[in-house]
Structure 1
Amino acid sequence: MQGSRFAFGPFVLDPDAGTLLRNDDPVAVSHRGLKLLAALVGRAGDIVAKTELMDAAWPGIAVEEGNLTVQIAQLRKLLGSSAGGGEWIATVPRVGYRFTGAVHRLSGVRRKTLPLPDKPSIAVLPFLNIGSDPEQESFVDGLTEDLITDLSRMPGLFVIARNSAFAYKGRAMDVREIAEELGVRYLLEGSARRAAGRVRINAKLIDAVSGDHLWAERFDRSLDDIFALQDEVTGRIVEALLGRLRALPPRNRPKNIEAYDLCVRARKMMDDAPQAAEEVHLMLTRAISLDPDYAEAYRWLAVNHWMGWVHSGGPTKSNRGIALQLARKAVAIDPNDAGCRWVLAYLLAYERDFAEADVQFAKAIELDPNEADTFASLSDITVLAGRIEEGLEHVRKAFRLNPFPAGWYYLALGQAQYAAGQYEAAVETLRHDETYRTSSLRFLAASLAQLGRLDEARAETALFLVANPDFSTAHWAMTEPFRDPATLEHFVDGFRKAGLP
């Protein structure tokens, strides 16, 4: 996707690329300094409160105000005087700061075009909700997600993951540009409306290379037939792309439409507001009470429990045993769901049941060769087993299927890069906007320490310990599913050099 660059005086700031140029020459500025400068320049002339700036530079981390003062002072030193002889950044006493220079917004730099796969490739863009009721938005999003899942299970296709498809929701962009950014040839666009017990869907399949419409159709069915309708739409798309149909193992479908809506909303909330674990828990347990045989609800409830255990401290903090029990239930209900399989596999690895975990990962890939989350989670487990190159290959495949992923993909990549001794690459990855948060700081600190950048490493360690005061390297080493002693020792060595207890 495209972002904006900002020109002021002799400088050009590119927040997406993380660069600041002075007369086309790079300026050495810290990661947090860039975040602060972007926040100020993006609102040039306005007063930006200290709290807003601290949230921009230290998202989700509690830090002293003195850290902000130090970073602003460093920025002023780097920028020097403006053309009029004054400072670029003015202090507004007791309130915040203001960028005083004239700023020109430049057009963004397009992402690098991804090469096309060696099989028909498609992205399903979020369907438009054309009804008057905004409450139907989750239903329409769920329809899009289900079409992605159905197509993803077809071995002859390459299908972009949900996260990346939904990155384009609400954005008006040329289809060729979207296809180039995602590295696919075909796009499915559509709209849907649910009203008075009916579902109306318009869908069209576009060849982004030629601009031709390969297939377009309008459907009007009873809401009771929604899942049969999804199967029909999927079949038409597969036929248009592959010229043939192939029967896939049946999917577990919800029997209650309210349970379906609750699951879609909970899934979205887990992405957008991970701190809302208690609300997610209530929504998913309600979905299960409405439809006790709904596998996907059990799957996401397992993930929610697992996230509570990993991040801890939340109102729904739980143990691995409950998460594992829920994941097993999901697979028992729907053994053909790759998502349920990889969640079970991941939890089994944490229980040190590696043989069964490997079987479940393999089965997940067999069921759905396009499930990006499977490869990202498998990378994590494979790296800790000492098969580092294999782990790197898995996470690269995950990124190809999901070019705009959730932050934990970057954490998995950074961990794999650290294990491979690619410390510079790990630092760059772990400072990415999507993953620069407390959970990644321990690996960032270890990478910096291995590079000999001990002051930076200790600074990241200090921030990590503010949010994780009870962290212990020894306890972490016991809970993580390591299978290779040498890999474990490599991580412990980095932690110790970074000053982690």
Structure 2
Amino acid sequence: MIGRNVMVGVAIAFFAAAVWWFAPGPVTTHPGPDNSAPRLAILPFEIESDDANVRAFAGGIADDITTELSRYPGLAVLSRETAQRFADDDGEAGELGVTHLLRGRIRRRSDRLTVNAWMTDTGTREQVWAKRYRGSASDLLEFQDTILEDVVAALMEALPASGGAPDASPGTESLDAYEAYLVGLTYYFELTPEANARAASRFRSALEADPGFAKARAGLAKTYRRAAFADDSFAEALGINWAEAYLELKVLLSGEAEKTADALVLEAGLALRRRDYAEAAGKARQALKLEPSNVEARQVLAETLIYAGDPERGENHARLALQLNPALPARPTFLAGLARYARGDTEGAITAVRDAVAMAGRREAEFAGLLAAMLGEAGDADGAEDMLAAYVSSLENRPRREWQVLTRTLDNPRARSWERPTVATAVYAYPFSDAAILSRIASGFEAAGLAGATLGHFPAAERNRLDDRAVRGLMFGASVEGSGETAVWRQTRSSDGAVIRTSGRGPMLQVPEGSSRVRRGEICDTWHWKGRIIESCAAVYRIPDDAPISVLGDYLLATEFGAFPFRQDLVN
């Protein structure tokens, strides 16, 4: 009990510090929870069972109720991470702005199910609603619907009159699918590679039971996102290569007819990786329209706006994300520092990002890298050197050197690049649209002592981006050749967009041929993989002749999984 109280106290202290950082400037009007609205936290449901899967199921149902209630436009629903900080102390919840706590207990005996749910007011500490649901295990889906309806009804007096209630359906009529999904949710939030693999297995089981279960499809896509872009151990645990995880992610997103908020957040993140700021912001806003209390959507919108050149509005959205998840203030605080850096306030940015590093409690390459560059810019040589060492070590996960994908054995680029990040790769990880900011980061990394300073950075700034006409003229009816992380790659496109990879892997990963189209300054390649259709787009940038890195190519493809410099050769 003492340990939990200390944890909550630390969370409150960090929340107070983060609020202080967000204080300057008024919050402009954006779609989001009303500050006067009820603020609800759903605690993990208790369960009377020693079976690990049954206990995981109990945690999952609380997570799913959190997701469904977050769709109600007049209700602020705090994240699961914040809810777990105060298991049985309404006073501590109140200190983090929570007005109501929802708790539950599940008893399962063979085919019989009893669910007790109750809600308390954190201000008065009085129980304002309670209900018991009894029936067979097959009634679980109906229980979830009824609990959602009853909770909203109990809060109705405090809810704004405008805005209709969302559809409370769990998204499937299959009990087997729903139970597998709930267990998968619990494993997913454990955040370890092994638990992520177990979550993927459960989400697959849910999809086998109901192939149209959109929430399970999005959950499985999130496990593949980790394997594609997080520490290599997530790919290892799934037994696949990071590139194969990326392809599975793309298949799951392209095959989803009904877009959940989680799926839209994934698409927003991919769009930002290829520097499509308009699509990233649009997808994030669609997610928030479905779930106004979705913290990840709020954070990716904040990040997109900051990188796209609107740091003030980006910081406002980061503030809203902090309000919904005060127990995890690290990322919103980092985003506040990123916004201050974009505005030229390096001193304020350093302090905010330094706080975010302390709040994270683990090595975050994104945090450490930016802080190293800023300290280098500020002339703090010792601090920059220390943080650069932390940045480099956070990227060291020693992945295997080869992978077998289908019938091909290929090099794992991470095995070649993990130990030596360069100025070019480091700067590319911060997709600012402003060329001056990219130059500042590059100078900061150089001052910090990062390798590769003579080549400089990729100038993937808006002023160097090609439009549709230029992309078509460059890529169609021509061959392009570039040097990848492990080998030279070459592609040839016909005048009508048919594309063939004649050597190397390059930006088309595992496939030898496909078709291309141009949209909004992006080249979009479509191909078949394992009998399924995938489309992957990339922005195209011109590398100025006076940029040192132009020795690698005249142009740059900014894909969802990396930067590919290249040159053009006309087809005779």
What TM-score comes out, normalization by structure 1 length? 0.70
Give the Cα separation in 2 of the matches to 1:294 and 1:247.
21
Q: What letter is aligned with 2:149?
A: G
- The answer to whether residue 284 in structure 2 is matched with residue 361 in structure 1 is yes
Alignment correspondent of 1:326: 252
Q: Which residue of structure 2 aligns with residue 487 of structure 1? A: 437
- Cα offsets for 1:408-459 (capped at 9, x unmatched): 5555455444434321221121232435344532122123223322112112
Counterpart among 340, 350, 354 of residue 273 in structure 2:
350
1:317 Cα deviation from its structure 2 partner: 3.7
Name 2:109's counterpart in structure 1.
Answer: 195
Going from structure 1 to structure 2, the CA distance change for 1:492 and 1:296 (only over 3 Å counts) comes to: farther
- Is 1:120 the equivalent of 2:38? yes
The equivalent residue for 2:28 is: none
- Residue 216 (structure 2) aligned to one of 297, 307, 314: 297
Matched AA of 1:303: K
Alpha-carbon distance between aligned partners in 1 of 2:293 and 2:218, rounded to the nearest angstrom? 18
Distance 1:5 1:304, change over 3 A: closer
Aligned partners of 1:142 and 1:418: how far apart in 2?
39
- Maintained 8 Å contact 2:302/2:317: yes
Q: Counterpart of 2:255 in 1: which secondary structure?
A: helix
Contact persistence 1:227–1:253 (CA under 8 A)? no
Equivalent of 2:91 in 176, 180, 190 = 176
Once the two structures are TM-superposed, the CA of residue 481 in structure 1 deviates from its matched residue by 4.2
Contact 2:113 2:135 in 1 (8 A): yes
Maintained 8 Å contact 2:107/2:113: yes
- Check the 8 A contact 1:407/1:435 in 2, yes or no: no
* Whole-angstrom distance in 2 between the partners of 1:295 and 1:194: 27
Q: Is the 2:329–2:356 contact (alpha carbons within 8 Å) kept by the matching residues of 1?
A: no
Structure 1 pair 415/121, CA: closer, same or farther in 2 (3 Å)?
same
- 1:471 equivalent in structure 2: 421
The worse-fitting range, judged by mean Cα deviation, of 277-286 and 393-402 is 277-286
Q: Describe the shift of the 1:419–1:230 C-alpha distance in structure 2 as closer, same or farther (beyond 3 A).
A: same
TM superposition shift of 1:15 = 13
Among 146, 166, 170, the alignment partner of 1:248 is 166
Q: Is the 8 A contact 1:386 1:486 kept in 2?
A: no
Q: Secondary structure of the equivalent of 1:183?
A: coil
Count of matched residue pairs: 398
Query: Are the structure 2 counterparts of residues 338 and 110 from structure 1 closer, same or farther at C-alpha, using a change threshold of 3 Å?
Result: closer
Distance 2:104 2:210 in 1: 29
Secondary structure of 1:432's counterpart equals: helix
Q: Which amino acid aligns with 2:155?
A: L
1:293 is aligned with what amino acid?
Answer: G
Gaps of 5+ in 2: 20-33, 397-417, 452-572
Alignment deviations for residues 230-252 of structure 1 (CA, whole Å, 9 cap, x no partner): 12111111112124894424656
SS in 2 for 1:201: strand
State the alpha-carbon separation in 1 of the partners of residues 81 and 8 from structure 2: 22
Counterpart CA distance in 1 for 2:118 and 2:371 is 45
Moved more, 190-199 or 263-272: 263-272
What SS does the corresponding residue of 1:214 show, helix, strand or coil? strand
From the superposition, tell whether residues 164 and 225 of structure 1 become closer, same or farther in structure 2 (CA, over 3 Å): same
Going from structure 1 to structure 2, the CA distance change for 1:259 and 1:376 (only over 3 Å counts) comes to same
Query: Quick check: 256-265 or 387-396, which moved more?
Result: 256-265
CA deviation after TM superposition for structure 1 residue 278, in Å: 4.3
Q: What aligned pairs does 1:199-218 form with structure 2 within 5 A after superposition?
A: 199-218=113-132
Deviates more, 1:457-466 or 1:208-217: 457-466
State whether residues 410 and 434 of structure 1, in contact with CA within 8 Å, keep that contact through their aligned partners in structure 2.
no
Q: Could you tell me which residue of structure 1 aligns to residue 350 of structure 2? A: 423
Structure 1 residues 194, 328: CA separation in 2 closer, same or farther (over 3 Å shift)? farther
Identical aligned residues as a percent? 26
Q: 1:261 to 1:120 in 2, by over 3 A?
A: same
2:53 pairs, out of 126, 135, 155, with 135
Secondary structure, in 3 states, of the residue corresponding to 2:212?
Answer: coil
Distance 1:390 1:166 in 2: 30
Do the aligned partners of 1:262 and 1:283 also contact (CA within 8 Å) in 2?
Answer: yes
State the partner residue of 2:206: 287
**Do 2:8 and 2:85's aligned partners in 1 also have CA atoms closer than 8 Å?**
no
Q: Which residue does the alignment assign to 1:46?
A: none
8 Å CA contact 1:188–1:205 kept in 2: the answer is yes
Alpha-carbon distance in 1 for matches of 2:340, 2:419: 26
> Aligned partners of 2:366, 2:281: CA distance in 1, in Å?
26
CA contact (8 A) 2:267 2:280 kept: yes
Q: Compute the displacement of 1:217 (Å).
A: 0.9
Aligned equivalents of 2:242, 2:73: Cα separation in 1:
37
CA RMSD of aligned residues (A): 3.5
Quick check: which one's strand share is greater?
A: 2
Q: In 1, are the aligned partners of 2:45 and 2:58 still within 8 Å (CA)?
A: yes
The alignment's TM-score, normalised by the length of structure 2, stands at: 0.62
